[in-house]
Amino acid sequence: METLGGCKQEGRGLTLPDPGLGSPEPELTSPCFALPCQTAISHMNVQGYKRVRWRVSLCYVGAVLSLGLLLLLFKWRPRWGVLARCRTCPLPMADTILLRDDFGEQCVLEVLTEEIDEEGLGPAAGEGNEYEWRDTVQLHKEEKLLLRYYVFKGIRYVWMARKGAFCKVSILNVDWSCAELHRMQQGLSCQEQSSRRKVYGQNLIDVPVKSYMQLLFEEVLNPFYMFQVCSIILWMMDRYYYYAACIFIISLFSIALSLYEIRKQSTTLRKMAQLIATVTVRRNTGEEESVSSLDLVPGDCILVPPEGLLLPCDAALLAGECMVNESMLTGESIPVMKTPLPVAGERYSADAQRRHTLFCGTQAIQAKGGCPGGRGALAIVVHTGFFTAKGDLVSSILYPQPINFRFYKDAVKFLLFLGVLALMGTIYSLVMLSLSNTTVIERVIRMLDIVTIIVPPALPAAITTGTIYSQRRLKKKGIFCISPPRINVCGKVSLFCFDKTGTLTEEGLDVWGVMEATGNTFAELVPDPRLLPPGQMLSGLACCHTVALLGGQPLGDPLELKMIESTGWELEEPIGEDERAHTEFGGRRVLAVMRPPPQELLPQDVSMSQSVAIIQRFPFSSALQRMSVTTVAPGGQGAAAFLKGAPEMVASRCLKESVPAEFTSTLHSFASEGFRVLALAYKPLDEKTDLNSISRDEVESELRFLGLLVMKNLVKPESPEVISTLRQARLRTVMITGDNILTAVNVARGCGMVASDEKVIFVHTSPPTAHSPAVLKFHLGEGGGEAAASQGAMDVLSQGLYQSGVSYHLAVNGKSFSALCDYFPEYLPKVLMRATIYARMAPDQKTQLVTALQNLNYRVGMCGDGANDCGALRAADVGVSLSEAEASVASPFTSNTDNISCVPLLIREGRCALVTSFTLFKYMALYSLIQFASVLILYTVKTNLGDLQFLFFDLPLVTLLAIVMGKGGPSNELHPQRPPASLLALPVMLSLLLHTLFLILSQVGALLITYSQDWFVPLNSTLAGAANLPNMEDTSIFLVSGFQYIFMAIIVTKGYPYKKPLYTNVLFVFILLVLFTAMFWLVLYPHRIAYRILQLYQITDMNYKLLLVALAALNFFTCYMLEVLIDNGVLNCFRSLRGRRKSKKQYKRLDTLLAENFSWPPLDQPLSSPQCTVIGLS
């Protein structure tokens, strides 16, 4: 069965019939799997089970007899627990379900039921006579509706009998249309709200904060700590009391710290997520009532007060305007103007109607024009709880998507490899111990002890040390991270995407001039809009915007603020009950008034214009690439509509005869010089038209073209340097923008993405029509779809563009990208490999592009301002939002700098963290292998390391070194080669294998040297293990292995080219010197007390001691040279003999293929899609 996020419904309601009272069970494809909905959003495998009493009783008995181990097993393996207690059954009868989510994780959930009153549900459950989600049961001979549901990750799933599936409860209102929302303005009755609340649940984003006892119980039952508990018990049985006590204390401290951090994070997140406020709602009686936000349900009509509101739900704005700060969700600090939802029959979607939706967690700064007296605004609740935008983001923090990173996968595999070694060690130890006079219990203890040695319990914690250090360094430099594991992923980024405006270029724009259309041509460029004569062009510049006043200060898009400033006009807004502005403009309800500057402030020979009132606004939409307003002149005369947006889009909405003939050439001229160009248009409206309810389609059609507003968008001074750094490091850079393609090309050249000697080839894709198939064409140096290649381009082509070594970049616009995905999927990977510029891209297309690049096995980074880039930032492997906020849930990383200089820093820190994780992993593995070898060698001679000897190695030596060795910072430069991410790669495994071999040889050598001495006295063979300490064999192994632990920390700690040299880590060097001094002292000039404490044999022969030091030095030199040889490419010799293998990464294979193909892309040769010839045929 598949649990579904949404199902296609008929009309608004869920009108499919219910089984009804006494009807048989709905048809199912199998006894325990339900049918999926056809338009599922999320697919989760759900199996139904019913508890069996005798099975449950047996499980309790088994739990008692096994001292709780059976329950522990069921906790680690939920499926086994369900199979033991329950039997399979159809989902409608299930009281327990076993759910497997999209990432393969299993969870056991209880099916809950609740009685629902049939009366008062209204349209929430559909307009049909039956409700699809209900079960009908008979209680006391009265028919009741029984809601069956479960809650998973905060989201409620209800049973849909006809569809045979559990679906998200939001499906009940997923098909509401805009017109239906407007009809809900009368509000719900108290009974309707109560009934819906039982269906939808409370409007609460509940982050569970568990008690310390609960956390302690769950933490202790973690496999890691259970392993620690078993190890401590084993060590106590083996009389390693000091060591067991120290590990116990450290584990307690670790648990306490972990519990404190978990509870602190949960509490912080709960405070951020949970919002309970008093909200005013409108009832169907016309009365207004103050209720708790917990009681809000979809369909409630809420009133946003004039002073604003921290929104507790997602709501569609129906009347009035709201200025909203959405920085918590998007990272964008500029307030956004929200306007009323159009009264249209189209389906409502919060994503499609973002400009008409108030999102949960955002701050409405002010509201106006929606209630009597022009105060406040009116909105309909559309989503509550975890179904809101804020709920979705909180859910992504609470339940993050597993990171598909090879390093983490290989770490688990390597632990399994160590487990195999442990098995071999136990077999060897069993053989050796069976030859001695040890008891069976002693043999079992020794064998299990081998497992605790070879599998270091501190390994998972150790490899996160580098990430913690990097996170702290990033925070000091103004980069905040809400997903620490992604820091390691930064080290493998191979491609970085950048937004243009506000990211690569300055946020603010300077007006360069205005070019007004006169007849069929353009007039001369007017550098100052104030020099324009009174007319529609000047009025359009002054009033076609969504700027609002807050505390007397204008707030809005920087571009629009600059546009208004250039005209010199002043913005006024009606205040409260003041009717003067409405009276001045013929009694119309006015949103804002634009007043021209006084005559004395105008240039000479320019007459004063009359004021213009804004009646309705249709805000800018990235998908539509335009915005519009309706206006009137004083007295309600001269009603008109003004449109502003992308020139191509504006021209397409205008009458053809009003667009100048040289429109395309003029636009190309400005865009190719890097100017930001906007077009304006207008049309007169009938004064009898209701300007407050006129539709957007009616306003934005059959307009007259007014002219072009030309603005200069400067590249940030940091951008060229950063792009140059990334390109030198062989990191691909890509620009994704909503701007004109030629402007984007100019900016790409300006910031260094496209070098001056590199060609730009434009990709033009047209979808099929009734008379022509889909066509793909590549044009050199021209942006227009129909433009032919220039003679120079043809000359280059004839000379062999690619054979002559000319580098090129592809440039694609949003329309061509969509057509390419739909009709030319076979060419898409090739275009993605060479495309550097993506223009006129809608927000969803940015996300689609990031996903497509990831499908080529790129590790994709994305840097943007967070406004229209939220989807792409979250889809990317590494998303960086440029925001003043300390942290934004719009992306894993947030930088408070307003430029892209944070990107190289983030990559360098990522590489440093990844290399540090490698270093610590290798060191902890070698530490285990060194101790593993020591113990097996000593088992062979019927002895073992002592209690305090183990303690000395594990705490002062290994743990201390592991903590400080990751403190080294990143290199100051980005190296062209990325660090490896595979722990199972040949260099890593060969290094570990050879190091282990030399380390074992050195220990065996120390033992043989000891045997060869004249004064050697064999140990007491009648005793075994640590009972016969001190002895010479143990002492020799202890002294040599002590040096091995220290010098291996030096050998595996890598510096260049990803980290600063080892000597810059002052604390690490200091501790190394202290530990080396301590070991030299223990070998050469030991004190009796130290030897007595460590149970070492006092040897007085100085020549023997120097021989041990020389042996350790030789071991160090051998291992160091071995590591240098492996690092410097000895393995490359073997690879060259073996032959070069094809890369597993698709983009590398494609790059090789394209480099060898001298005829791609074919310039000015139309390519037809093999999928279809004309529309409708395939």
Residue type, 936: L
Q: How far apart (Å, rounded) are the C-alpha atoms in residues 437 and 857?
A: 59
Cβ atoms of 563 and 573 within 8 Å: the answer is no
Q: What is the DSSP letter of 285?
A: T
Q: How far apart (Å, rounded) are the C-alpha atoms in residues 129 and 118?
A: 10
Residues 6+ apart with CB under 8 A from 791: none
Label residue 435 exposed, middle or buried (CB < 10 Å: 0-12, 13-18, 19+).
exposed
**Can you read off the two tokens belonging to residue 852?**
């497509």
Residues 6+ apart with CB under 8 A from 727: 733, 752, 753
Q: How far apart (Å, rounded) are the C-alpha atoms in residues 784 and 797?
A: 19
Label residue 155 exposed, middle or buried (CB < 10 Å: 0-12, 13-18, 19+).
buried
Write down the H helix ranges in 789-896. 791-799, 814-823, 828-834, 843-855, 870-875
Residue type, 259: L
What does the radius of gyration of the chain's CA atoms come to, in whole angstroms?
Answer: 36
Residue type, 97: I
Cβ atoms of 490 and 907 within 8 Å: the answer is yes
**Can you read off the two tokens belonging to residue 882?**
């440029």
Phi, psi of 1054 (to 5 degrees): -90, 145
Q: Which of 847, 894, 893, 904 shows the shortest CA–CA distance to 870? A: 847
Question: Helix or strand or coil: residue 464?
Answer: coil
Strand 612-621 versus strand 626-632 pairing type: antiparallel
Q: How far apart (Å, rounded) are the C-alpha atoms in residues 699 and 630?
A: 8
Strand 165-168 versus strand 155-160 pairing type: antiparallel
Catalytic residue among 135, 314, 392, 499: 499
The helix, strand and coil proportions of the chain, stated in percent and rounded to the nearest 5, come to: 45, 20, 35
CA dihedral of residues 120, 122, 128, 129 (deg, nearest 10): 10
Q: Is 18 a catalytic residue?
A: no
Label residue 700 exposed, middle or buried (CB < 10 Å: 0-12, 13-18, 19+).
buried
Whether a cis peptide bond, with omega within 30° of 0, leads into 1057 is: yes
- With b for 16 or more beta-carbon neighbours within 10 A and e for fewer, the 713-748 pattern comes to bebbebbebbbebbeebebbbbbbbbbbbbbbbbbb
Q: How far apart (Å, rounded) are the C-alpha atoms in residues 997 and 995?
A: 5
Phi, psi of 23 (to 5 degrees): -80, 160
Phi, psi of 714 (to 5 degrees): -85, 145
Q: How many whole angstroms from its chain centre is CA 907?
A: 16
Cβ atoms of 931 and 752 within 8 Å: the answer is no
Question: Helix or strand or coil: residue 1177?
Answer: coil
- With b for 16 or more beta-carbon neighbours within 10 A and e for fewer, the 261-284 pattern comes to ebbeebeebeebbebeeebebbbb
Q: Which of 332, 376, 338, 343 shows the shortest CA–CA distance to 357? A: 338
**Can you read off the two tokens belonging to residue 1024?**
């075994």
Q: Which residues are catalytic?
A: 499
